[in-house]
Amino acid sequence: MEKHTFVITEKPDAARRIALALDAEEKPQKLTENRMPYYVARREREIVVVPALGHLYTVAPEKNERSQYPTFNYRWVPRHLAEKNAHQIRAWLEAISKLAQNADEFIDACDYDIEGSIIGYNILKHACGGKEREAKRMKYSTLTKEELEKSYDTLLPHLDFALIEAGLARHEVDWLYGINLSRALTTAAKNYSGKYATLSTGRVQGPALKFIAERERRIKSFVPTPNWRIRAHIEIDGQIFEAQYEKEKIETRKEAQEVQNACIGKNGQVDEVETKQFRQLPPVPFDLGLLQSEAYRLFGYMPKRTATIAQRLYLDALISYPRTSSQKLPPTINYKTILKDLSAIPEYRKLAQDLLTQPTLKPTQGSKDDPAHPAIYPTGKLPQRELDRYEKNILDLVVRRFMAAFAESATKQSVKITIKIGDKNFYLKGMHVLKMGWLHYCESYVKDQETTLPSLTEGQIITAKSVKADEKFTNPLPKHNPSSLLKKMETANIGTKATRADIIQTLYDRRYIQDERINVTDLGYEILEVLEKYCSTIVSVAFTKELEQRMSDIQTHSGKREDLLASTIETLKPVLEQLKQNEQAIGEILTEALRKTRTEERTIGTCLNCKTGKLVILYSRKTGKRFAGCTNFFKNQCKTSFPLPQKGTVKPLARTCSRCGWPMIQLRIKGRRPWTTCLNLKCPSKEERDKHVKVQNMR
């Protein structure tokens, strides 16, 4: 191979896009080396575009002593040397090294953020023979041809070493916390019970779990207080309207009754009609957190899922880089071109054309900024493949939010009519949209706030049909859901935009939390209690926040990686000592919590035959097959049992069948949709379904 330019990218899709953009004829050659696909593009010279597979290097202990802690000596190694299922990485790295041999120019084209910078840096340093100092950097926010070409023509002279230092420090600090604390917990449980179970915690995982647990503790300790709300039903032109008493909440039953009695049998009179106009500004452009929060509110997508979908849309060059903290759209992205491109898409044509008629295009900007990338925006390009409905939803959300940012404010009018019943004031409130403005662009995504009131004049007499005092109670705080937790982590500044969603997922995977309205499991509580008791610093939000700040300081040259790592080790040493000293007590607590969790996971529900036993998942000693049996069988009191599917995972649903009353389960088999059913094979719903299938087959 002749001398060439070597370009490293983060993923195979990105490599393809970059090669396509850089090849003079848009026909790069696709080749393979050691089963790794790569591309050769021809411009003024040959450009070899090589993909990584995300991180190819990771932090690992210097000596591989499993379950030993404390361990403070580490090094960066190829992932296949540290992880079980990473065999592919070896061949990939060999291929990269071979292709780098004849290169005389090196370019890092990985995503321009902390993770991307480390991926590129490690490959250039370890697999390309120390080329990290001479490599140049491509910086782009979309994978469109125009931006990639521009980025290639205006290369940054070197890598962003401050960003790399901050990234390396983040990985190393996280590794030091993660490996040592997780090993301490796992070892304590294993030494006590003799059974191995992975128990993990980390620098951000602990405080995140604490957020949920603290909220749940408040809910579980909550005592409601009573109050009364008084409403009058008023008849106007044959229609009934509900007016609220001027005092929103009344604290005693006696006062509520007095107000009610004072209104009985009296008519109402319109005392005052007040109208107010106000403007509602367009929403700010999406950063990743806002997109995740909206996608959860509108479509119920978990934050991690939204991030994955957005990443796919980015790799298809349909939206800009999604892992951004910015809520600003700079003019350099060329608003006009994007809107022109969007106007070629039938469903956005009219909306985009309306914006293009404005004399100037000035978007509403949010307060947050990101030095590396702008807010998320659509490229205006058409999809080159059929998008699934999830991708379509996220893309539509991004497109509409982008357009809304350029639209005018909405103008609304609020109406407040004061009605006197006896000497008591009641309010009738309405809202009317005078000018849609930006609401027009997001009509399907905003709640209908229109409440039209009849036109009334001051002094008009109206009939009060009834006046009621409703007893209400104060409500506990709502439970956290994945979206509110993500927001909380963002506000508290723990974790990064790229890692928060993954951390929440890990809490689910480790069985510390469950359900969409998040509940902390017994295991989660015990882990947290152990951490709070023996190493409270680790779960302290203030401490984690300070650590985040110190990591950011490295990026701005106000802190050093070595200093941060040294102080991390100094913090961890006494903590780990304390955990080791109390290993027996911790092991006992965790073993009991693990036992409870395992029992809970196996318990399907109450046995309807004996009414006292529990149906649990059991395995036959003879055949090894899985079935559901009553716990009273072991007391010779009940022989109820049900067969269970032998493949996949059975998850008890903690609810009963509406037709037969037996507990429900969900069966999950990889690659198939989850199947929800009750245990009862003779359930009327199953018989009906069988009949229906028979009729269908006969037809």
The CA distances from residue 680 to 602, 603, 607, 683, in Å, are 17, 16, 11, 5
Nearer to other proteins, 139 or 596 (CB): 596
Q: Cα(302)–Cα(482) distance, rounded to whole angstroms? A: 6
Q: Is 603 exposed, middle or buried (0-12, 13-18, 19+ CB in 10 A)?
A: middle
139: tokens are 């910086």
- Residue 525 annotated as catalytic: no
Selected catalytic residue, list 140, 245, 301, 321: 321
Q: Kindly state the smallest distance separating residue 253's Cβ from other proteins, in Å.
A: 6
Rg (alpha carbons) of the chain, rounded to whole number: 31
Nearer to other proteins, 254 or 682 (CB): 254
Q: Cα(488)–Cα(544) distance, rounded to whole angstroms? A: 14
Report the interhelical angle of 205-220 vs 482-491 (nearest 10°).
Answer: 120
Q: Cα(591)–Cα(612) distance, rounded to whole angstroms? A: 27
Contacts of residue 405, Cβ cutoff 8 Å, sequence gap at least 6: 282, 283, 284, 285, 329, 363, 364, 365, 438
Strand order in the sheet with 103-108: 29-33, 36-42, 46-51, 4-9, 103-108, 136-137
Pairing of strands 136-137, 103-108: parallel
Q: Cα(633)–Cα(581) distance, rounded to whole angstroms? A: 43
Nearer to other proteins, 225 or 444 (CB): 225
Q: Kindly state the smallest distance separating residue 258's Cβ from other proteins, in Å.
A: 14
8 Å CB contact between 494 and 544: yes
Coil, strand, or helix at residue 669? Answer: coil
Q: Cα(397)–Cα(449) distance, rounded to whole angstroms? A: 20
8 Å CB contact between 561 and 167: no
Give one DSSP letter per residue of 370-425, joined into a string: -SS--S--B--PPPSSPPPHHHHHHHHHHHHHHHHHHSPPEEEEEEEEEEEETTEE
Interacting residue ranges for other proteins, rule: CB under 8 A: 217-227, 251-254, 473-476
Q: Is 136 exposed, middle or buried (0-12, 13-18, 19+ CB in 10 A)?
A: middle
Phi-psi region of 648 (alpha: psi -120 to 50; beta: other; left: phi over 0): left
8 Å CB contact between 131 and 124: yes
Nearer to other proteins, 224 or 331 (CB): 224
Q: Is 564 exposed, middle or buried (0-12, 13-18, 19+ CB in 10 A)?
A: buried
Q: Kindly state the smallest distance separating residue 534's Cβ from other proteins, in Å.
A: 14
Give one DSSP letter per residue of 283-313, joined into a string: PPPP-HHHHHHHHHHHH---HHHHHHHHHHH
Site of tokens 């951000």 = 204
Nearer to other proteins, 582 or 666 (CB): 582
285: tokens are 């452009």
Nearer to other proteins, 225 or 452 (CB): 225
Give one DSSP letter per residue of 173-214, joined into a string: HHHHHHHHHHHHHHHHHHHHHS--------TTHHHHHHHHHH
627: tokens are 């079935």
The CA distances from residue 263 to 229, 230, 254, in Å, are 14, 11, 15
Residues involved in catalysis? 321
